[in-house]
Amino acid sequence: MAGPGECVSHWIAATRPKTLLLATSPVVAGVALAAAQTGKLAPFTALLTLLASLAIQAGTNLHNDAADFERGTDTADRLGPPRATAQGWFTPDQVKMGAYLAFGLAFAVGVLLTLRGGWPIVALGLASLAAGWAYTGGPRPIAYGPFGEVFVLGFFGVAAVWGSHYLQTLASGPDAGLVGLALGLPAAAVLLLNNYRDRETDRAAGRRTLAQVLGPAGARWLYAALLLGPFPLFLASGLPGRPALTLAALPLALVLIRRLWYGPDGAALNPLLGATGAYQALLVGLLALGLALGPALAPALAG
């Protein structure tokens, strides 16, 4: 039986900490955009938004862990990092309970956020919770078809940035949607790469992901497009500050594309998954810096 310390480490691993960066990045981008446009920041609201996003991501990961094991997709010899249920650290019911607790935390924080954002945040929050469950739950899980990347683009890109921006400004505009689209592309690339690595085991388990539909060559081309896609969106935008600063991430994008095209396959792709998530975070950091250099930013704090 695992000791308390090992048990805690297993729970932390089950939430997949490296993927939590994908939940953090769009919130930071939405808040940075709002601050650049208004010269104001609501820090408590920003922290609650980040907590809700992290809880939804963790709940989705935990539910995915248990559901994939029950469907026979994940076994102890999977190519990816160890999964809690497949490794026997916890039972499927225990992992599902962890997922429900995370979703419950997101719901509770969401209630506080609705006091500021009103019905648009109610609708967005409920849709995000439902999508987190439906990703691997229900009779037709999103993750088992070719639309997983669209799900990530929508919820971990457009919706997350728009919601974070709206909670700061209480106003809606095209800039938040454009930034969400641009940052959702590399987030979708993470999932595409994950499914590219697992294409053979997924096929054996009855999953028909986009990587399988496109084939290996098509998936590699799409990965390249998803990593390069943010640059024309940022450069053609009317964002304040200096969005062209994001071009500093272009060399890393080219390195990652080359690694997928000419590097080893299978489990050797696991470091590339983490690097792709870090690439999205770098884009966010450069975008936030470019926005901060704009004349609209002021040090005022509100809320």
CA atoms within 13 A on the CB side of 125: 29
Angle of helix 270-292 versus helix 20-38 axis, rounded to 10: 10
pLDDT of residue 75: 57
With CA atoms as reference, report the closest residue to 226 among 159, 150, 298. 150
Query: What are the structure tokens assigned to 155, written together?
Result: 């919820």
Q: What is the pLDDT of residue 170?
A: 92
* Residue 209 CA: distances (Å) to CA of 144, 149, 164, 191, 223: 6, 9, 30, 10, 14
Report the predicted TM-score, pTM, of the whole model to 2 decimal places: 0.88
**Rounded CA separation 33/162 (Å):** 10
Q: What single string gives the DSSP state of each residue in 3-34?
A: -HHHHHHHHHHHT-GGGHHHHHHHHHHHHHHH
Q: Could you list the pLDDT tens digit for every one of the 303 residues in the chain?
A: 455 667 788 888 888 888 888 899 999 999 999 999 998 999 999 999 999 999 988 998 888 888 878 777 665 556 666 777 888 888 889 999 999 999 999 999 999 999 999 999 999 988 888 887 788 777 788 878 899 999 999 998 999 999 999 999 998 889 999 999 999 999 999 999 999 998 888 887 778 899 999 999 999 999 999 999 999 999 888 888 888 999 999 999 999 999 999 998 888 898 999 999 999 999 999 999 999 886 544 443 333
Contacts of 180 (CB under 8 A, 6+ apart): 26, 29, 30, 157, 158, 159, 160, 161, 162
CB distance 252 to 208 below 8 Å: no
- CATH annotation of 19-198+213-292: 1.10.600
Q: Report the distance separating Cα 34 and Cα 45, nearest Å.
A: 12
Q: Are 117 and 49 within 8 A, CB to CB?
A: no
Instruction: Decide: residue 274, CB within 10 A, 0-12 exposed, 13-18 middle, 19+ buried.
Output: middle
User: How big is the CA angle at 228 (ends 226 and 230), to the nearest 5 degrees?
Assistant: 85
